[in-house]
């Protein structure tokens, strides 16, 4: 009874005949797996790869979104160009900005740049005027200029040094400039 159908109890002369009977009469009852072993492996590798790619993209996005944009403090990549004034109403080009850190007006001691960002931050009335007063007080080496997309309201910069201020503080600015 080795070649008998377990579902309908018919007996067959060979294993091949039994197999043909099962396929033709009982096929709907035979459960086939949704995926073969190799397909399961491919799906698993695909899902893991997708998770890794999403993780890497998320990390890159996190770091890009959390990088602070601040003015440069080095003169690397500067050009021997002076700005038209010590009080700028438009941002200085970075190559000029870096040159002022090397030496104000292209000679003498390094310049100090008082940067502000009143586009992305709310600035008190008269803030820019107060900052510009430092140019009058120290006309030989102080510059005042807006810095676009800066992640602070006020940043004081000189060669290899920087001070971030959330609000105007005359004493701190004066100490940094001197």
Nearest partner of 95 among 78, 83, 117, 81, judged by Cα: 78
d(CA 68, CA 66): 6
Residues 6+ away with beta carbon under 8 Å from 34:
none
Answer yes or no: are the C-beta atoms of 144 and 87 closer than 8 Å.
Answer: yes
User: Which positions of the chain have pLDDT values less than 50?
Assistant: 30
β-bridge partners, 28:
none
| CA pair distance 3, 11, nearest whole angstrom | 6
Same domain, 171 and 117: yes
Which pLDDT score is estimated for 114?
96
At 133-159, the pLDDT tens digits run 999 998 889 999 999 888 899 999 999
Domain count, the chain: 3
Residue 76 falls inside a structural domain: no
Q: 123 and 106 share a domain? A: yes
Residue 9 sits in the same domain as residue 53: no
Structural domain span for residue 43: 35-67
What is the token pair recorded at 144?
């005042």
Residue 153 covered by a domain: yes
Residues 27 and 47 in one domain: no
- Statement: the pTM of the whole predicted model exceeds 0.85: no
Both structure tokens of 20: 């043909």
Answer yes or no: do 127 and 54 share one domain: no
Residues 23 and 46 in one domain: no
Separate counts of helices (H) and strands (E) for the chain:
5, 4
Angular region, 71: left φ>0, alpha ψ -120 to 50, beta rest: beta
In degrees to the nearest 10, what's the CA dihedral of 32, 34, 40, 43? 170
pLDDT at residue 78, as a whole number: 84
Residues 41 and 18 reside in one and the same domain: no
Question: What pLDDT, on a 0 to 100 scale, did the predictor assign at position 102?
Answer: 86
Pair (173, 102) in one structural domain: yes
112 and 141 in a common domain: yes
Distance CA 178, CA 174 (A): 6
State whether 113 and 161 are in the same domain: yes
β-partners of residue 163 are: 156
* pLDDT given at position 27: 65
Shared domain check, 164 and 99: yes
Quick one: pLDDT at residue 31?
A: 63
Under 8 Å between Cβ of 111 and 71? no
């Amino acid at each position: 009874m080795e070649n008998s159908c377990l579902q309908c109890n018919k007996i067959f002369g060979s294993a091949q005949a039994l197999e043909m009977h099962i396929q033709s009469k009982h096929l709907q009852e035979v459960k086939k797996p949704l995926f073969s072993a190799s397909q399961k492996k491919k799906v698993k590798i695909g899902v893991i790869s997708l998770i890794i790619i999403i993780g890497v993209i998320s990390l890159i996005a996190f770091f890009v979104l959390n990088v602070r944009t601040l003015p440069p403090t080095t003169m690397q990549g500067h050009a021997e160009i002076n700005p038209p004034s010590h009080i700028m109403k438009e941002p200085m080009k970075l190559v000029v900005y870096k040159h002022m850190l090397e030496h104000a007006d292209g000679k003498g001691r390094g310049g100090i740049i008082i940067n502000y960002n009143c586009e992305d931050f709310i600035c008190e009335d008269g803030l820019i005027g107060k900052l510009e007063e430092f140019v009058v007080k120290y006309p030989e080496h102080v510059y005042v200029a807006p810095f676009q997309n800066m992640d602070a309201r006020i940043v004081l910069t000189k060669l290899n040094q920087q001070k971030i201020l959330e609000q105007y503080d005359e004493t701190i600015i004066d100490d940094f400039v001197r």
